[in-house]
Amino acid sequence: MKKKIEIITTMFAPLDFLNAMVYPSISKPIEEVWDGMVNTTIEEAKDRGLSGIYDLTDSEWFNKNKYGNYQYTLINNEILNKLLKGEIKTLKELNKLSENQLIKYNYNKSLFEYTILYYTLKEENTDNYKTYVDSIFIN
């Protein structure tokens, strides 16, 4: 749902009055229900494993600006260790290291035992983006 929903005027005073008085009080619960449904969808996608996250990241209905631009990448044990130790600080570092490892192993993806699911969100009060690791799957 959009951040701010406009009230539609009908030129019928009683309906416009109800719309102006009632809608603001029910819009928040409606948005909360929608957000809950989206969060449930994300969790269900993760429960389905790799095929679920592939479907989620490829979906067009998902509002990536509000709920996060979910992506995934293959990683190996070396990358996972660096990630868990906090040696990888940015998405750029993760992608570069992953690409270097793919080149090192001649793009043999079977050597990459893990898939990492992450998302990027814009911080509300700034123009900065933050990346969050959501889940790590064993392939």
CA angle, 64 as apex, 62 and 65 as ends, to 5°?
135
* Sequence-ordered list of residues with C-beta below 8 angstroms from that of 122, at least 6 positions apart, any chain: 65, 128, 129
* Sequence-ordered list of residues with C-beta below 8 angstroms from that of 112, at least 6 positions apart, any chain: 74, 75, 76, 101, 102, 139
Per-residue confidence (pLDDT) for residue 1, from 0 to 100: 44
User: What is the tens place of the pLDDT at every residue in 41-71?
Assistant: 787 877 787 778 777 777 777 667 777 788 8
Report, as an integer, the average pLDDT of 95-119: 91
- Which stretch of DSSP H or E encloses residue 28? helix 13-47
Separation CA 50–CA 68 (nearest Å)? 18
**Sorting pLDDT into bands at 50, 70 and 90, what band is 135?**
confident
Q: Lowest-confidence range among 7-21, 24-38, 84-98? A: 7-21
Q: What is the 3-state secondary structure (H, E, C) of 58-119?
A: HCCCCCHHHHCCCEEEEECHHHHHHHHHCCCCCHHHHHHHHHHHHHHCCCCHHHCCEEEEEE
For the entire predicted model, the pTM comes to: 0.62
Minimal CA–CA distance to 94: which of 67, 112, 121?
112
More confident residue, 3 or 86: 86
Domain assignments of the chain as residue spans, ordered by start: 1-47, 49-138
Sheet (strand 71-75) strand order: 71-75, 114-122, 129-138
In percent, the amount of the chain with pLDDT more than 90 equals 23
Minimal CA–CA distance to 45: which of 132, 124, 119?
119
Per-residue confidence (pLDDT) for residue 26, from 0 to 100: 63
Per-residue confidence (pLDDT) for residue 46, from 0 to 100: 79
